[in-house]
Structure 1
C-alpha cells in the first residue's frame, strides 16, 4: 500500500455520521492537516455531525485510498500498477495496457464475458477495467475490497472508484513531460479557468508514445509491443445559490498498439519474441458523467449520478501464436445512474436509493487456420438491471452501532444474433453453420447485509474503530458469447452467490502519528462463474459448484519524524475450488488462478530538505498459477520502486525507477504453454511546470 494509509481519506459511503470529535481529531491521515499543540478539539460530550462521505477511519470496509501525489510518486499509471502494490489485489492481462482485476481471488473473466466481479468507476460511471490502460488527471482512486450493497452498482468482489480533478477557482495551468525506458514519451497539459463567481472549468489533454519492451528477432524490430495514443478531459463545476454542486465531465482516451506478447516462458522472460507479426491492441473510450450533490438541511442530503460510456477493444494475435488469424472487436455501450438520499433522526441514520443501468456488448470472434479449420462466431449481449438499496444505522449504545442493509437486484439479460460458422478442407472437407433465436432470462434477488460497529470515544492518545459484518453477494446469470455450438451457448450459466464475513479493527493516534489496521474475511461461494475451456475446445463461462476465499489484510504507518513516514502492508488469501469439474478436468481442491497466497510490502517517504522528496518501496508477491491456465506457475517476485523529486516555486523535476530489480514474471497463461510477461525495469525522468 506504499504511502497510503490503512483506509483512505474518505471511503465511498455517502451517509451522515455523528462523531464525538471532528475528523481532524479522529482520522490518522497524512493527507490531512495535523493538529498542533495550539489546536484543541471540542469537549468529548459535544456532538459534531459530519455530512456527506464518511471519514475513512470509521468506514466499516477494507479500503485503500490512493491520492494523486501518491500515484505520481510511485508511477501508478494503470490499474495493474495499483493491483501489484496494495494488499490482496491482483490482475491478469493479455497486454500491459488491458488489466482485469481480481480481489481476494475473485475475478479475471471480464474480457471473456460480461461478468463484472469488480466494477471500475470514473466519476461514478462504470467502465470495463480493460479500458483503463492509462489513468490521467485523477484526484484519487479508492479501492474497496469485498462486496458492496449500497454503493450504486452491484459489486461482487470489490469496487474501484476513480475521481477526476475538480476545476480550481482561479486561473492556473500545468505542463508535465516524462521520458523513460522503451523510448516512452508522455506529455500532458492541464488548466483551470473560472467562468464566474460560482462556475469553473478544467481541461486536461495529453498524449503518450512508446516502442515498448519487446525485441522481435524474426522481424528485427523493437517496437512490436509499442503503443501511441492520446487522452483528454473537460470538466465543469458549478455551485448554485441553494448549495447544490453540479459536475459535468467528458472523458476521451484512444490508444493504438501492438500485441507481440504471447511467447514461450523462456522467451517471454527475456522480453524476446519470434512471432511473425506484431498483432493489434487498440482501445478507446468516450465517457460522459453528470453528478449533483446537495444538502437540503442538516439532516438530508441528495447525491445523483448519471452517465454513459462507449468503449471499444480491437484485438488480434500474431499469426504464429496459434498458426492462425485470431482476434475480435469488442464494442460496449452502457448508460445508467443512481439517486441516493441520506439523513439522520435521533439515534438513527439512514441511506437509500435506486440504481439502474443498460449495457450492450457486441462479441464477434474469428479463428482462421485454413485450410485445416476456420471458425467465426457473432453475438450481442444485452443486460438491463435496476436495484433498490437501503441501510439504517441504529446507535444502540454510546460506542455501538447496528447497521442492517438490503439490496434488491433485478436483472434482464439477452443473447441476440448468435451465429457460428466452422469450416475446413484438409484432411476432410466440412462446413457447419448454426444460429440461435433470441435467448432471454430474468432474475430478481434480495441481498441482505448486517454490520455491528464499535466506535469508542477517542482519547488524547488513541482512536479505535472495529466492525463485524455479513454480506450476501450476487453475480447475475448470462450466456457464453464465444461458444461454437448452439447446444452449449443456449444453456445460460447460473447465478453466483457469496456469503462474506468480515472482522476489522483499527487503532491509531488522533493526530495521525501512527495507525494499525487488521481485517479478516471469509467468503463462502456457490456456482462461482469461471472462464474455462471444455472438451470441445469452446471458451465458456462455467460454474464451480462451491468455492471459498479466506484471508486477511493488515496495514500500518508510523511517522517517527515530521519529515519521515514508514508504511507496511500484508495480504494473505487462500482462494480455492471445493467442487469444480469442467472440460473433463477436476479442479476441486485447486487454488484459484492469478491469486498469490501472500503479498506484503514496505515503503518510506522522506523529505530530507525543503523541496526534496524521496519515495521508495519494496513489494513481494507470492507464488501463484497463471490465469486462466491453472497449470502454469508464476514464481514469487519482488518489485522495487523509487523516486527522488525536487520542487521549486513553479518547477518540479523527478527521477524514477520502476521494478528496479528487473524482476521477470508473467501475467497471463494459455493452455498451449504461451505466457505474457510483465514489463521489465523502467527508468526515466519527469519535468513539470505550473503557472
Structure 2
C-alpha cells in the first residue's frame, strides 16, 4: 500500500470511527431516555491551585486548562507529553526520548545543547521548580495538570513569559486508601505503580506513590540488529506529609525522586523508524527534589504563606552524531568528493549538573468576595548549571559553569467595583544576576532589571457567567552565546518582552452539565529570542556537522488566536468534550540565516523572514471525544486529537505534516478493581515531532542537504489492571 493509499485508508477509518462514536452516543442516549428520563448531572468543581489564591476554574480570569486524573488514566499516560495535545495552543518538541520542551501559543524552547537556556514556559511539580528539565514530568499519581496560557509576570516572573504548567499530585486522605496498577502494551511496554495514603494521627497524614515504566521503544536499529535502541526506563517515587499542629497552621512536605535511563536513537538516514547508528545515544536524568510549604493564619486579616523548594538533577544526553557506522560505504555506494574523508564518525554527549533552589514568601489577605483583597510577596531563586560536553571533534572536553540569582518583589490587588464588577492589578519587579565561564575562556556577567504584571477587568452577568478582559506583560532574561567563532555582535542577546491582550468568557448551563470557556487573544513580542546557525569558520571539510548554533533577537513578532474548551454531560450515560486552538503567528521584522548548510563553500546570506510563521505554532489544534458509562460497570472512551502542520525552527523550512490521532479505551470497573483495554494512534498515523532542514548527514548521497525527522508514537495497544483497597 503506497503512502497516499495509507493516508486515505487512515482517514476513512477515522471517519468511520467518528461516525461510530456519533451512532453510539445517539443510541445510548435514546436508550437511556426511553428507560427513564434523567436530568444532566452536575459536573464536579475544578479548582486551580497555581495562582496566589486557590480558585474555581470558572472564576479564574485567564485562559487555563485543567487536565484531570481521569484523562491521564484513560490515556494510560506515563508522561506529560502524552496528554498535552488535549490543551489548545500547547505544543511540545522531542529531539530526545520524551517531549521535554514545551511551547504555549507558539512560544517556548525546542532544544538545549551547549548554551544555558532561559525557559519561556515554567514547569512546577508539587511546588518544586523543574523549569527546563521536563524529563521529570512523569504522571505517577498526578491528580491534575494546570496549564496557564499567557505571561505569568506577576505570579512567576522571567521563566513563565509564555505560560505555566503546574502538576499537582494526590493529597493525603483522611482514611486509608491503597491502589496497585499493572499494565502491558506493545513494544514490550510494562508499567507498575502503587499508592498508599491515610492518616498517621488526627493532625498528620501521608501519601506515598511508586511507579515504573519500561519499554523497548518503537525504533529499530538495522546495523546492530536490535529493537530497544530507544528504550524507556523510568522510575518515580513521590511522598507527601501534611501536618496541622493547630487550627491556624498547616505544613506540607513533599519529596520527589525520578530516575530516567532512556535510550535515544531518534533520527534515521532513511527518514524512517529504522536507524543505522553504531553507537545509539541516551537520555538520562536523576532528580532528587523536595519542597516545604507553610500556611499560617498570622491574624484574622491575612495569612503568611511560605514555599521553599530544591531540586538536584544530573542529566546526560548523548547521540551518535553521524547516524551511521564506519563500514557504511562498504555496504552501500557512497558519493566521494576529494575534500571529505568518508565517512566521518562523531558522537556528542552532554552531562549537566543542575541545582535549583527557590524561596517564596507572601502575605495573602483573608477577605470576602466583596472586599478588597491583596497579596504582597518576595521571591528568591538560585540556580547553578555545570556542563561537560564530550564530542569527537573537540580538543578535550568542553566545560562551563553557569550561576544565576533572581530576586523579586510582587503584589496584587483584587478590587471590587460596582455590583458584579471587579478589577485585578498585579506588578512584579525582578532583578537577575548571572555569571558564566567556560574552558574556551569565555566569560559573561550580565545583570538586568525586569518587570511584568497584569490588569484584568471582570464582570459577572445575571446567569453567573464570567466575562473578562486583561492586559498582561511578561519578560524573559537576555543572555549570551559562548562560541568565540561568532562575530562580536552575535555574542549577546537582549531581554525579550511580551504584551498579551485577552478577552474571555466562561459559562455554565443546565445546572452545570454544560461548561464552556472561550478566550480571544493578541500577543505582541519585542526582541524575540530565536535560534540561528552559522557554518563554523574553522570547518576543514572533514565533518558536515561543523556549524555553530547561537541565539539572536528578531526585532518583533505577533500572534493572535482563539481557545475554546467545552464539555457536556448529556445524561447519565454520555459525556462529550472538545477543545480547539487557533493561532496566527508571524515574525514582523527578522533577518534569518535560514539556508545555512546548503553550500558550505559559500558565506551565510540572511533571508527576510518577516511574515513567516513562528516555529512550533500550528494554525489549529483540536481534541474531541466522548465518554460512555454504558452500564454500572462498563465504560468506553473515544477521542480524536489533531493539529496543523508547523515549522520546526526559524533557521530552516522543515515542517511537520498535519495529522489526526484516534485513541480509545474500553473498561470494566468495580469499587475494588478495574481492567481496561486501550489504544493510542489506532490508525497508525505517521507524524513528525522534531525536524531538521538543510542538513547533510548521509555519505551515500555525498552529504547532500535534506530534511530529517523524528517521528511520534505509532499505534500502541495495551491492557491495564488496577486494584483498590
TM-score (norm 1): 0.86
1:230 positional shift: 1.6
1:628 positional shift: 6.2
1:235 positional shift: 1.3
- The structure that is strand-richer by fraction is 1
Q: How does 1:119-518 map to 2 (within 5 A)?
A: 119-127=122-130, 128-132=132-136, 134-154=138-158, 155-264=160-269, 266-268=271-273, 272-296=274-298, 299-321=301-323, 323-343=345-365, 347-369=371-393, 376-419=397-440, 438-458=443-463, 463-481=464-482, 483-485=483-485, 488=488, 491-509=491-509, 511-518=511-518
What residue is the counterpart of 1:638 in the other structure?
660
- 1:12–1:151 Cα contact (<8 Å) kept: no
Query: Using the alignment, how far apart are the partners of 2:217 and 2:43 within structure 1?
Result: 34
What residue is the counterpart of 1:44 in the other structure?
none
Task: Specify whether residues 281 and 504 from structure 1 end up closer, same or farther in structure 2 by C-alpha distance, changes over 3 A only.
Answer: same
Give the SS at the match of 2:267: coil
1:641 positional shift: 1.0
What residue is the counterpart of 1:604 in the other structure?
626
Query: Using the alignment, how far apart are the partners of 1:92 and 1:603 within structure 2?
Result: 24
- Which digits, 9 at most, give the CA deviation of each residue in 1:139-173, with x for residues without a partner? 21101110113324541000000112112223332
- 1:6–1:517 Cα contact (<8 Å) kept: no
- 2:568–2:576 Cα contact (<8 Å) kept: yes
Q: How does 1:79-118 map to 2 (within 5 A)?
A: 79-109=80-110, 111-112=112-113, 113-118=116-121
- 1:76–1:82 Cα contact (<8 Å) kept: yes
What residue is the counterpart of 1:588 in the other structure?
610
Query: Using the alignment, how far apart are the partners of 1:15 and 1:231 within structure 2?
Result: 28
Which of 550, 574, 592 pairs up with 1:564?
574
Task: Specify whether residues 14 and 571 from structure 1 end up closer, same or farther in structure 2 by C-alpha distance, changes over 3 A only.
Answer: closer
Task: Specify whether residues 94 and 104 from structure 1 end up closer, same or farther in structure 2 by C-alpha distance, changes over 3 A only.
Answer: same
Query: Using the alignment, how far apart are the partners of 2:631 and 2:534 within structure 1?
Result: 61
What residue is the counterpart of 1:540 in the other structure?
550
- 2:157–2:474 Cα contact (<8 Å) kept: no
Give the SS at the match of 1:634: coil
Comparing 522-531 with 274-283, greater Cα deviation is found at 274-283
Task: Specify whether residues 501 and 417 from structure 1 end up closer, same or farther in structure 2 by C-alpha distance, changes over 3 A only.
Answer: same
What residue is the counterpart of 1:434 in the other structure?
none
Q: How does 1:515-534 map to 2 (within 5 A)?
A: 515-534=515-534
Give the SS at the match of 1:285: strand
Query: Using the alignment, how far apart are the partners of 2:414 and 2:44 within structure 1?
Result: 21
- The structure that is helix-richer by fraction is 2
- Which digits, 9 at most, give the CA deviation of each residue in 1:81-105, with x for residues without a partner? 2222210001111124242000000
Comparing 237-246 with 108-117, greater Cα deviation is found at 108-117
What residue is the counterpart of 2:7 in the other structure?
none
What residue is the counterpart of 2:721 in the other structure?
687
Task: Specify whether residues 197 and 448 from structure 1 end up closer, same or farther in structure 2 by C-alpha distance, changes over 3 A only.
Answer: closer
Task: Specify whether residues 469 and 418 from structure 1 end up closer, same or farther in structure 2 by C-alpha distance, changes over 3 A only.
Answer: farther
Query: Using the alignment, how far apart are the partners of 1:405 and 1:189 within structure 2?
Result: 42
- Which digits, 9 at most, give the CA deviation of each residue in 1:252-275, with x for residues without a partner? 01111221111246324xxx2222
- Which digits, 9 at most, give the CA deviation of each residue in 1:439-484, with x for residues without a partner? 21111123242111111343xxxx3101111111110112235x35
- Which digits, 9 at most, give the CA deviation of each residue in 1:626-664, with x for residues without a partner? 246541111110011111121123111111101111111
- 1:528–1:547 Cα contact (<8 Å) kept: yes
Task: Specify whether residues 374 and 551 from structure 1 end up closer, same or farther in structure 2 by C-alpha distance, changes over 3 A only.
Answer: farther
Which of 673, 677, 682 pairs up with 2:711?
677
Query: Using the alignment, how far apart are the partners of 1:254 and 1:490 within structure 2?
Result: 37
Query: Using the alignment, how far apart are the partners of 1:223 and 1:394 within structure 2?
Result: 58
1:383 positional shift: 1.0
Query: Using the alignment, how far apart are the partners of 1:466 and 1:632 within structure 2?
Result: 40
What residue is the counterpart of 1:30 in the other structure?
none
Give the SS at the match of 1:240: strand
- 1:79–1:132 Cα contact (<8 Å) kept: no
1:489 positional shift: 9.8
Which of 671, 677, 689 pairs up with 1:649?
671
Comparing 508-517 with 633-642, greater Cα deviation is found at 508-517
1:491 positional shift: 3.2
- 2:519–2:564 Cα contact (<8 Å) kept: yes
Which of 36, 41, 46 pairs up with 1:9?
46
- 1:307–1:336 Cα contact (<8 Å) kept: yes
Give the SS at the match of 1:267: coil
Task: Specify whether residues 181 and 484 from structure 1 end up closer, same or farther in structure 2 by C-alpha distance, changes over 3 A only.
Answer: farther
TM-score (norm 2): 0.82
- 1:131–1:284 Cα contact (<8 Å) kept: no
What residue is the counterpart of 1:620 in the other structure?
642
What residue is the counterpart of 2:701 in the other structure?
none
Query: Using the alignment, how far apart are the partners of 1:160 and 1:133 within structure 2?
Result: 10
- Number of matched pairs: 624
Task: Specify whether residues 298 and 640 from structure 1 end up closer, same or farther in structure 2 by C-alpha distance, changes over 3 A only.
Answer: farther
- 1:8–1:142 Cα contact (<8 Å) kept: no
